[in-house]
Copies of this chain bind each other. A is one copy, B any other.
Amino acid sequence: MAFAVTVDLVMLTVREDALCALLIRRAIPPFESSWALPGGFVQETEDLPEAAIRELSEETGIHQEAAHLEQLATYGTPSRDPRARVVTVAYLALLPAAPTPRAGTDAAEAKWLPISDLPPLAFDHAKILEDGVERARSKLEYSSLATAFCPPEFTIADLRAVYEAVWSAPLDPRNFHRKATTTPDFVLPTGRSTTGDRGRPAQLYTKGPATVLHPPLLRALPPTPK
């Protein structure tokens, strides 16, 4: 039995305090002119992560390196593509405040859209995107992944804004500051400060070498049923 294999990308960033996904408007059938995740067929000599990296720039015109790229999951329901039996390997990419993308091959348009207000998506892409968002949400708890959403230098308030956007929940600035700065190797001070904003200048930090947060930074339980 022969299958076609594609990679699809769930690309996430934080823009104006909102978690956004990069979506393209399809220029070709099926689902022509529908919104969809960027992606495409895996080539003959290509490894899966290679294909994901290639599609990242090809489909969206973003040549910036993704700060984080990991495999998300694979979707292969027989009826998911009307053309043929297509299995897609989805990847999750996290990027810092990103420029407006230009449309690439096979796309009429490419845009960052807030995940709180999404159009209907082609194929099973709504489910894939939902899985990607949930992966990102839970990984912020126990990994230092939030820094992947930040530029090379950032303030603790910037980092907190990432958590608040991804979790869509407010965090106490003072407790967050303590947690972020005392967790070993989460962020490293650069010695520099911001300037030009209103208010006291903030210290600038860089992503530290830690990959897991120990102990984790847990989301509060929804209502804490007692």
Contact = CB atoms under 8 A, between A and B. Distances in A.
**Chain A interface, DSSP helix/strand/loop, else mixed:** loop
A78 interface: yes
Interface in A1-28: 1-5
Contacts of A71: 73-74
Interface in A33-52: 41-48
Nearest to A73: B71
15 contacts: A1-B41, A1-B44, A3-B4, A3-B42, A5-B5, A5-B76, A44-B78, A46-B78, A47-B76, A47-B78, A48-B74, A76-B89, A87-B89, A214-B218, A214-B221
A71 B87 CA distance: 14
Interface in A173-226: 214-216, 218, 221
A214 B222 CA distance: 11
A216 B74 CA distance: 27
Contacts of A45: 78
Max chain B C-beta neighbours (<10 A), residue from A41, A43, A78, A215: A78
A85 B216 contact: no
